[in-house]
Amino acid sequence: MLNRVQASIDLKALQHNFSIARRYSSLKKAARVAAVIKANAYGHGLEQAANALDEAELFGVTDVREALTLKKSGTDKPILVLQGLIHEDDLKLVVEHNFQLVVHSTSQLATIDDTLSKLTLKAPLTLWLKMDSGMGRLGLSPQDYAATYQALQNKTYVDSVVMMTHLANSSMPESMLNTQQLQEFRQQEGQLQGKCITSIPSSSGILSELPVDCDWARPGIMLYGSSPFNFNEAHLRREQFGLQAVMTLQARIIAIKALKKGDNVGYCSQFICPQDMTVGIVSIGYADGYPSNAPNGTPLMVGGKKTGTVGRVSMDMIGVDLSDIPDAKVGDLATLWGADLSVDEVAAKTGILSYNLTCSVARRVAFEYI
């Protein structure tokens, strides 16, 4: 590694995690798995993730622009646009490329019907009709759902309709809202004629014991080696499910300081040495995507040993306690998270979701795919 900061992306670990998602999904009777690679594959690289995840039946992305990027990269997998139509013109691209589309509002339905009823499509579309069963975000109300679903089934521009919802609290399996949402979903499913194609769980629903049996599972964060559950729940950490770190973020030590008791480190004297200390300066900061709110003691690894940050995070630098790592020297690498230090542990210390940490790694960071 010759770079100041580098993110190493282990594509074999990504494939391994997909196999874990496949296994747990099958326990929920989900024979098909949609790999969610939106937001540049949670910061790991959209095209690279797609190439590695060739066993997925479908890819989920945020919007039509991401879908086009993925299509142009050469994938032959079906692509699902998870946020549906952002602009009316998106529908032309959906039709042209036969993207699958989440529909989550009556206004979207009106646009789709008005436009597509006037066109002759090369192939009818697969629509994923989303129910707001209790998330309070996107989706049709349960009261409107069954009638809308049945009406779509009769449209000539529709090939099939997938019944989907999203659980708000599946990362908290004991929450009563999970039961309420699942009951609402099953109640509406029971009103529909014939066998429905269904999709419920994301990563936390897949890995939990919630009764989310369905046809499609939609793993996201677990693919990248992160547990969707609270890090304080030791039995729900990534290693308990066999998940492997995909991203390892490292940066170089560029200076080592011998400081005295009472010396301060960094801006605003956020850290004052409680005793004589050895402090390293690591060349990574918030401009690289490291969380600016990381408190003193945020974990990292140097020379295979765990230590913690000292002082405020700067634009390009952080301080690290090297007092118990006497062999550390300028040029050594510090690991901010990776195989030996879970991104979930860093997230728990900073109060920032692991999703946010990997998505925030900046463009100026060098990426290596292994």
Q: Which residues are part of the catalytic machinery?
A: 38, 267
Q: What are phi and psi of 124, to 5 degrees?
A: -65, 160
Pairing of strands 5-9, 366-369: parallel
Task: Give the other-Cβ count within 10 Å of 227's Cβ.
Answer: 25
122 is written with which tokens?
Answer: 């090369």
Q: Contact at 8 Å (CB) between 129 and 153?
A: no
Which letter, b or e, does each residue of 128-144 get, where b requires 16 or more Cβ atoms within 10 Å of its Cβ?
bbbbbbbbeebbbebee
Q: Contact at 8 Å (CB) between 129 and 162?
A: yes
Q: At 167, which amino acid appears?
A: L
- Nearest in space to 38 (alpha carbons), one of 294, 220, 289, 243: 220
Determine the angle formed by the axes of helices 142-153 and 106-116, rounding to 10 degrees.
Answer: 10
Which letter, b or e, does each residue of 277-296 get, where b requires 16 or more Cβ atoms within 10 Å of its Cβ?
bbbbbbbbbbbbbbbeebeb
